């Protein structure tokens, strides 16, 4: 029970994705109050869409404030980076949900923009997200924002865990029934599914997808990277195609913004498929395409940054700026997270 309201004020950052949602509360001096992980909040993944997202988001916010022992009135500014907010209509619906909770001072963005805020001290640059899904966003010094992809097949997205999973399965199916190229993926997927007969492939795959979709996608993605490291042509081609699609989208987003051709643009790579993958093929393809194949007169140059911090910290950094903090607290926000992680690691080591 809380007996009195803490007079301190806070900012709230939320990174709501298709796999998990990270929430962080910081005070106005840039000190971390609480950071906590919850389940997914992408309305596109819920059977009841925005209605179900509303319930889940309200439950998350209630728990976060109770855990932090603060009231919503103490939050002076919030930044929500939400997956599935790609159109004006989606933005309006999600904004209404946030206001209904009682938060009126906030910014709502697609979650991919948070990577720019986390990876660039001046909140400008390009961010390519390759995690659960695909998205490329850009923010220029004039405050203009552009998003490329993020819709799926309609926008030709070639990236994200779901896409890689589908590519692996379809190429193995091609090798079995469509005179496709032989691939190590077949043997590896057969072992994963516990089968030896091609006639069992699709039935077992559909069965496992229905029962254990997240784990299945994760394990198939791992198999893809393993096969690529072992020199499998099909796996290498899949990852190379992903890199080319990202490079084209990065360049397309850049061309719609106002960047100085004489300065390197921060290019932040975020999402588990970029930051945790066992293969560098997609990233090396991006670099090669941007530096060589897509070179034009007056071409842009990029400073590639692999994001080491959770994107939610970008939401916090931007919220502090919007809350009127005169000091740039970006580095302190990141440092506070490092301190908390080291402390938690020490506690974990002592308990083992």
pLDDT per position as a tens digit, 5-32: 558 999 999 999 888 999 999 999 999 9
Query: Domain for residue 270, yes or no?
Result: no
Same domain for 167 and 99: no
Task: Give the chain's mean pLDDT.
Answer: 92
Domain boundary among 210, 232, 254: 232
List Cβ neighbours of 202 (8 Å cut-off, separation of 6 or more).
Answer: 173
Pairing of strands 75-82, 134-139: unpaired
Query: CATH number of the domain that 95 lies in?
Result: 3.30.420.40
Is the domain of 106 the same as that of 190? no
Count how many domains the chain has. Answer: 2
Among residues 208, 232, 256, which one ends one of the domains?
232
**Is 190 a domain residue?**
yes
pLDDT, tens only, 272-308: 899 988 889 999 999 999 988 766 645 789 999 999 8
Report pLDDT digits (tens) over 143-198.
899 999 988 899 999 999 999 999 999 999 999 999 999 999 999 999 999 999 99
Task: Judge contact between 198 and 176, C-beta under 8 A.
Answer: yes
In a domain, 241, yes or no: no
Strand partners, 266: 303
Q: Which residue has the tokens 């932090």?
A: 68
- H-helix segments, 82-230: 88-101, 113-119, 161-177, 184-193, 201-229
Question: Which pLDDT score, from 0 to 100, does residue 4 have?
Answer: 46
Q: Are residues 17 and 89 in the same domain?
A: yes
Note whether 42 and 17 are within 8 A (CB): yes
Last residue of a domain, one of 187, 213, 232: 232
Instruction: Write down the residue that tokens 């229905």 correspond to.
Output: 210
Q: How many angstroms separate the first and last alpha carbons of the chain?
A: 32
Domain housing 329: 10-111+311-351
Pairing state between β 125-130 and 134-139: antiparallel
């Amino acid at each position: 029970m809380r007996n009195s309201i803490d007079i301190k004020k806070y900012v709230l950052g939320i990174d709501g994705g298709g796999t998990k949602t990270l929430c962080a509360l910081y005070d106005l001096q840039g000190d971390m109050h609480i950071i906590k992980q919850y389940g997914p909040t992408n309305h596109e993944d819920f059977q009841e869409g925005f209605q179900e997202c509303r319930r889940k988001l309200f439950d998350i916010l209630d728990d976060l404030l109770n855990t932090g022992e603060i009231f919503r009135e103490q939050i002076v500014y919030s930044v929500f980076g939400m997956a599935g907010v790609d159109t004006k209509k989606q933005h309006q619906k999600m904004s209404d949900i946030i206001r209904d909770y009682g938060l009126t001072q906030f910014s709502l963005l697609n979650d991919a923009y948070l990577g720019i805020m986390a990876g660039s001290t001046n909140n400008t640059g390009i961010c390519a997200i390759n995690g659960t899904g695909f998205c490329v966003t850009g923010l220029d010094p004039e405050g203009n924002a552009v998003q490329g992809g993020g819709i799926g097949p309609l926008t030709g997205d070639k990236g994200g865990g779901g896409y890689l999973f589908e590519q692996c399965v379809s190429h193995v199916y091609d090798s079995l029934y469509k005179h496709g190229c032989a691939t190590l993926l077949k043997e590896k997927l057969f072992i994963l599914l516990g089968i030896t007969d091609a006639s069992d492939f699709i039935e077992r795959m559909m069965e496992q997808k229905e029962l254990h979709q997240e784990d299945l996608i994760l394990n198939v993605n791992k198999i893809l990277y393993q096969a690529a490291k072992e020199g499998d042509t099909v796996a290498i081609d899949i990852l190379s195609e992903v890199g080319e699609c990202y490079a084209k989208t990065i360049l397309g987003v850049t061309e719609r913004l106002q960047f100085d051709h004489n300065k390197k643009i921060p290019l932040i790579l975020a999402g588990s498929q970029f930051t945790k993958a066992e293969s560098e093929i997609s990233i090396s393809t991006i670099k090669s395409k941007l530096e060589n194949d897509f070179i034009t007169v007056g071409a842009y140059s990029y400073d590639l940054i692999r994001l080491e911090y959770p994107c939610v910290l970008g939401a916090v950094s931007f919220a502090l700026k919007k809350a009127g903090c005169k000091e740039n607290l970006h580095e302190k926000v990141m440092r506070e997270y490092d301190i908390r992680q080291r402390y938690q690691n020490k506690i974990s080591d002592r308990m083992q």
